[in-house]
Chains A and B, each alone.
Chain A
Amino acid sequence: MALLEVDNLSIMFGGLRAVDDFNLRVEKGELYGLIGPNGAGKTTVFNLLTGVYKPNEGVIRLDGVDITGHKTVEINHDGIARTFQNIRLFQDMSVIDNVKVGLQNQYHYSTAASIFHLGSYKKVEKEYDDAAMELLSVFGLENERDYKASNLPYGQQRKLEIARAMATKPKLLLLDEPAAGMNPNETGELMKTIELIRSKFGITILLIEHDMKLVSGICEEVTVLNFGRILKQGKTREVLQDPEVVKAYIGE
């Protein structure tokens, strides 16, 4: 059984079918790419998977559990975490606090302990610190722990956003154009980081990307979307060489 199973997913905006009859199987541990020209509906698929939009039709199953129609918050609890195309950090909080917010649902103490710093506060905060530092060091951000998130350079902001998503211990990680705005060096580094978190945490990753080098470099399988519909689906190398896909990308 695949980790993520999507069947016949559709959504209408007004009269427009932004995503139409979308199907997807992502196996556990797989690195899967979702590509397509601008406006093809890729981010809409992410928004459907994370409950930002409710689909008009279709079913989404994660690890065999039907999560269709769940709210964004519940979907994170179900096991999906994401990053955003236009980075959405908690910009006025420190780098480490960004990650700690992601850890929120794993380490608990009461509101009273929050307000009065009583009881388990110290002990659990230590656990927060340790877990957050461990994640930050995976992304090479341990020295920036006390920087304000918005003061980080662009590439590190992208990494922090992934770190924060990883902090929620997801089964499936959705990356929305992680390499957007990066130079080739940064992209190369990002590819290594993505490979690293997959092997270290055994996580499944679905990513949207325009950088074909990144897609062909790390994705085992891809789906090509065009005008909201699936154009091609399959092994990365075969799909990228398909004349129809080339045409959709480069035009006539």
Chain B
Amino acid sequence: MKKKKLSRQTWTYIVVLIVYAVVEIFEYAGLLSSHLTGLLVPATYYAIVAVGLNICVGILGELSLGHAGFMCVGAFSSSLFSILTENSLPTAIRFPLAMVIGIAVAALFGFLIGIPVLRLNGDYLAIVTLAFGEIIKNILNSLYLGYDSNGLHASFTSQMDLGMEADGTMLMNGPMGISGTPRDANFTVAVVMLLIALFVAQNLINSRDGRAIMSIRDNRIAAESVGINITKYKMLGFVVSAAIAGAAGVLFSHSISTLQAGSQYFGYNISILILVYVVLGGIGNISGSVIAAAVLYLLPELLRALSSYRMLIYSIVLIVVMLFNWAPAARNWRNRVLASIRAKFGKKGAKA
């Protein structure tokens, strides 16, 4: 069984690599529209955030509606770093460093937000993570930042209030955000990051720390009774989850020309969108998150021909899939069908 588990993990990597290779070949052969090519990086970073969020929802068992906030801090911190060092560091050094910084800052925010949030339970935790996500987005959306010979200037009101010298450089321009981040991220880099995210997530599940986190999810009282430090492991799960979301943020900010902390990029609705990926991909099923994110992100985009009907179709599909997957009546029906298939092939199905 150990071997089987390992192979499943390896299979995930292989599938990702095959998809990557096929896409690259198609792109090289000119078979992909520029529209579709433009969707590759976003689809991949949504897959990464979904992996991150699945650690929080599926492994730690806490519902977070604020993961867009972690993406947001990862995006902005790494973007600032890249802009400041664009002329002094070569890309090959700058981008990995930006990645490390984005991840570290997101992890730090995960830690700081985790201190109050992880004391709460269930829906209270969900709404407070949502609140933190919105706070982060709101603050970054109204922050003006610039530097000149006198050093760094910051303001929450306007560019004017920065009081910079004439030769000063604007870094963050309130709702206009950051422009001119070097576009260091491409599909290849995104896939590498996805593989790393998968590696970390699946390793964690099959480890001492991961088991501790899952035991809290399954039964906090029993976990305490066998000496598991609840606070520590809850925090670990939350921080890892935030850090992975931060990595996705770095990819995001390094693949677009203007980074803005608007609702359409980092609002709670994005956190919810990612949650939809996680739930449909299977809670706790890491590779499922990747597939769900990729398919569900690309689906509405590819349905553009249907224009205004596409989101309507998407929402109906979402409801129907949920009912089909979860409603007891639908489950019973499915189990009957599966049982009859099993009976035909004489397999047993009691195993986990």
Contact = CB atoms under 8 A, between A and B. Distances in A.
Are A and B direct contacts in the complex by CB distance below 8 Å? Answer: yes
Interface of A: 50, 52, 71-73, 76-77, 81-82, 84, 88-94, 97-98, 100-102, 104-105, 107-109, 111, 113-117, 121, 124-125, 128-129, 145-148, 151, 164-165, 167-168
A81 B226 contact: yes
A250 to B, nearest CB: 34
Interface string B251-276: 00000000000000000000000000
24 contacts: A72-B224, A72-B225, A73-B227, A76-B224, A76-B227, A81-B225, A88-B225, A90-B214, A90-B223, A91-B219, A93-B214, A94-B352, A101-B215, A101-B228, A111-B236, A114-B203, A114-B204, A114-B207, A114-B209, A124-B208, A146-B1, A146-B351, A151-B350, A168-B226
B66 interface: no
A73 B1 contact: no
Nearest to B283: A92
Nearest to B209: A114
Contact of B208 (A52, A81, A114): A114
A93 B236 contact: no
B226 A92 contact: no
B288 interface: no
- In this complex, the interface size class of chain B, counting residues with CB under 8 Å from chain A, is 20 to 34
Which residue of A89, A104, A129, A167 has the most chain B CB atoms within 10 A of its CB atom?
A: A104
Interface in B194-231: 199-200, 203-204, 206-212, 214-215, 217-219, 221-230
B215 A93 contact: yes
A88 B222 contact: yes
B218 A115 contact: no
Contacts of B49: none
Given A104-B227, A145-B1, A90 B208 contact: no
Contacts of B204: 114-115
B68 interface: no
Contacts of A145: 1
Interface string B13-55: 0000000000000000000000000000000000000000000
Given A90-B214, A115-B207, A82 B223 contact: no
B284 interface: yes
B221 A88 contact: yes
B106 interface: no
A193 B238 CA distance: 40
Given A101-B212, A111-B236, A145-B1, A151 B352 contact: yes
Interface of B: 1-2, 199-200, 203-204, 206-212, 214-215, 217-219, 221-230, 236, 240, 284, 350-352
Contacts of A164: 222, 226
A89 B222 CA distance: 7
A90 B225 contact: no
Given A89-B219, A111-B209, A117 B226 contact: no
B218 A91 contact: yes
Contacts of B203: 114-117
A104 B228 contact: yes
Which residue of B226, B236, B350, B351 has the most chain A CB atoms within 10 A of its CB atom?
A: B226
Contacts of A91: 218-219
A167 B229 CA distance: 16
Given A90-B215, A101-B215, A114-B203, A167 B226 contact: yes
Given A92-B218, A114-B204, A145-B1, 12 more contacts: A71-B224, A77-B227, A92-B214, A93-B218, A100-B208, A101-B226, A104-B226, A117-B203, A117-B206, A146-B352, A167-B226, A168-B226
A113 B208 CA distance: 9
Contacts of B222: 84, 88-90, 164
B91 to A, nearest CB: 26
A128 B208 contact: yes
A97 B230 CA distance: 17
Nearest to A124: B208
Contact of B224 (A73, A125, A167): A73
Nearest to A76: B227
Which 9 residue pairs across A and B have the least CB separation, nearest first? A76-B227, A148-B352, A114-B207, A90-B218, A88-B222, A114-B209, A72-B224, A101-B215, A146-B1
Which residue of B200, B204, B228, B230 has the most chain A CB atoms within 10 A of its CB atom?
A: B228
Contacts of A90: 214-215, 218-219, 222-223
Nearest to A91: B218
A105 B227 contact: yes
